[in-house]
Structure 1
């Protein structure tokens, strides 16, 4: 570990920060007067745990980095988000795709992270 991110509540004293600084960690505080900053971080950590980390045995740091990279690519490119009207962030930038009659198309199935996540698209 290289750093510790914490909020600015009074329960964290200077002595708390000193313990981690002495261990070689840099203590980063959440922005002042930004109560939602911690909430956004906790929401993302919860999503990562529910959808990925609770279902995967991580072997080492390299495996964790590779797994997180693949998941984040899926998260931004294909995963629907409620806050974006069930669009992925990449679709939200370009607008929703036009409706398609799936009965007249073949569907291509792609597994991600060894089958933990499945993506589907129209085959060319």
Structure 2
């Protein structure tokens, strides 16, 4: 712009041109056509997959390798398997299973981001290329290029692997299956506006009558390590305005106990879990 003004015989200081561009939110010319890695991830989120290996140790001292894949757009996680020997044949078969799962789910992925780990064979890239998925390698020692997957690895370690004593490979597979189901179907995600990858946010409760009779039930998994909270069937029913404060569907003469919430601290060998327990208003005798 400064050169064009000089061609027209208009003398303007370069700083003036810079101030005008800054006020209008226009970047300098060399930066307008460049695409950053963050821009690429945002623009192609619907077609991006990311995978990585996670290492953990069982009580027997055996090192286990967990292979997982995450979708950038929906944050859905697929744990492809775990093994003590991640050979090229095992990884190749895991990728074949992933391709079939993506086809069944109707996922149109175009790119898969992974690091330069030697456990990924060249045959893996060929299988993905046959279905139109291009492998994108991250830079050397640049985990931020695969930040979505790295974040899930930290979450899995913090919420499961670092808090659970794993006996063997079979126990690890069971724990990972439960956590995958919990992560995809129940756990709230800030990036999804508190929804889950396979669960939408329910409509908010706006009726004061329903808020006062909430009955939340918790279903524990993995010995209380994971939990799913839900409303009971009675709490889901709407209050009948002519029932004098009695829930619809309940007998008028039925009595309800006044429940109060207390907390108890339970010590476990690995973690200390604070559980909320419902007790009756009547004091329990020893």
Give the alignment's TM-score, normalised by structure 2.
Answer: 0.33
**Aligned counterpart, 1:121:** 230
Question: Judging changes above 3 Å, is the alpha-carbon distance between structure 1 residues 90 and 102 closer, same or farther for their aligned structure 2 residues?
Answer: farther
For this pair of structures, how many residues does the alignment match?
107
Please, which runs of 5 or more residues in structure 1 have no aligned partner?
A: 18-24
Does structure 1 retain, via aligned residues, the 8 Å contact 2:115–2:137? no
**Aligned counterpart, 2:162:** 54
1:98 aligns with 2:203: yes
Greater fraction strand:
2
3-state DSSP of counterpart to 1:52: helix
Distance 2:211 2:87 in 1: 48
Alpha-carbon offset, residue 39 of structure 1: 2.5
Greater fraction helix:
1
Distance 1:59 1:121 in 2: 31
What aligned pairs does 1:1-124 form with structure 2 within 5 A after superposition? 1-3=85-87, 7-8=115-116, 17=118, 27=121, 31-32=135-136, 38-92=146-200, 96-100=201-205, 101-124=210-233
Q: Deviations over 1:70-115 (max 9, x none)?
A: 01101011100010011111224xxx21112442232211111110
Does structure 1 retain, via aligned residues, the 8 Å contact 2:216–2:231? yes
Distance 1:3 1:44 in 2: 24
Distance 1:60 1:66 in 2: 10
- Cα RMSD of the aligned pairs, angstroms, is 2.9
Please, which runs of 5 or more residues in structure 2 have no aligned partner?
A: 1-84, 92-113, 126-134, 234-286
Tell me: higher relative CO, structure 1 or 2? Use CA pairs within 8 A at least 6 residues apart.
Answer: 1
**Aligned counterpart, 1:22:** none
Give the alignment's TM-score, normalised by structure 1.
Answer: 0.70
Distance 1:73 1:62 in 2: 17
